[in-house]
Amino acid sequence: MLFRILQDPHDRPGHVDVGEHQDPGHPPHDFKDHAMPRLSLIEPAAAEGAAADVLSSAPFNIFKGMANNPVMMEGLMAMGGAISKSGAISALEAEAVMLRVSERNGCGYCLAAHTKIASGVGVDDAKAESFRRGEGTSDRERALLRFADAVAEKNGCIEDAELEAFRAAGFDDAAVVEVIAAIAWMTFTNLFNHVNETEVDFPPVVTPVGV
């Protein structure tokens, strides 16, 4: 989904300073600049299978690292494509969830990538910051981000009231499924980039001191 949206931000139906906001109970993440990734970088000419298709149009460092396992990469991209096609939430709302999850998980690479992607669906720096903080700029966005926070923080074991509040904001059960999928998809990429120490090849954003 990441490379598809970069190519065409409307395929779905800069600098951000997050200040000193920190969510109690979540320690600040340690962001460092790393000279080299931990995994081998597979260049497009050497890629195989689905990885070759991805890298031919989106030769980003995250994909060069994932290309070490083309089968797993194919599965990840299929899931991203399904989220992109679902349409149960808008492209902007999907990016809100992904920015918030990346903020919670402290992934500098994904924050940079999805700030860039979100700009293609009408999200300016101020709005991206509000998503990263879990605030949003409308009642619907705030309900979306509260639900995403609850699912992520409680490992899905949310209260009935939290689910009903999400539905009351205008979201249906298809949206519930898509938000959970977006959280899972984003968490995978966050974890991958932490393990790999992927070099950021998008315009950098200020990394958070916490969530």
Q: Is residue 13 part of a domain?
A: no
Query: Assign residue 95 a region: left if phi > 0, alpha if psi is -120 to 50, beta otherwise?
Result: alpha
Q: Which domain holds residue 120?
A: 2-7+36-196
Q: In this predicted model, what pLDDT tens digit does every residue of 179-197 receive, in sequence order?
A: 999 999 999 999 999 999 9
**Confidence class for position 208, pLDDT limits 50, 70, 90:** low
Q: Is residue 19 part of a domain?
A: no
Q: Is residue 16 part of a domain?
A: no
Q: Is residue 86 part of a domain?
A: yes
Q: Total domain count for the chain?
A: 1
Question: Which has more pLDDT, 145 or 32?
Answer: 145
CATH of the domain at 93: 1.20.1290.10
Q: Is residue 27 part of a domain?
A: no
State pTM to two decimals. Answer: 0.84
Do the Cβ atoms of 62 and 109 come closer than 8 Å?
Answer: yes
Q: In this predicted model, what pLDDT tens digit does every residue of 145-177 receive, in sequence order?
A: 999 999 999 999 999 999 999 999 999 999 999
Q: Is residue 124 part of a domain?
A: yes
- Examine the pLDDT at 127 and tell me if it is beyond 60: yes
The one-letter amino acid at 157: C
Q: CA separation (Å) from 109 to 33, 45, 120, 174?
A: 11, 24, 17, 29
Kindly report the average pLDDT of the chain as a whole number. Answer: 86
**Confidence class for position 207, pLDDT limits 50, 70, 90:** low
**Confidence class for position 36, pLDDT limits 50, 70, 90:** confident
Q: Is residue 168 part of a domain?
A: yes
How far apart CA 146 and CA 72 sit, in angstroms, is 31
Query: Assign residue 6 a region: left if phi > 0, alpha if psi is -120 to 50, beta otherwise?
Result: alpha
Residue whose entry in the numeric block shows the structure tokens 């699912």: 151
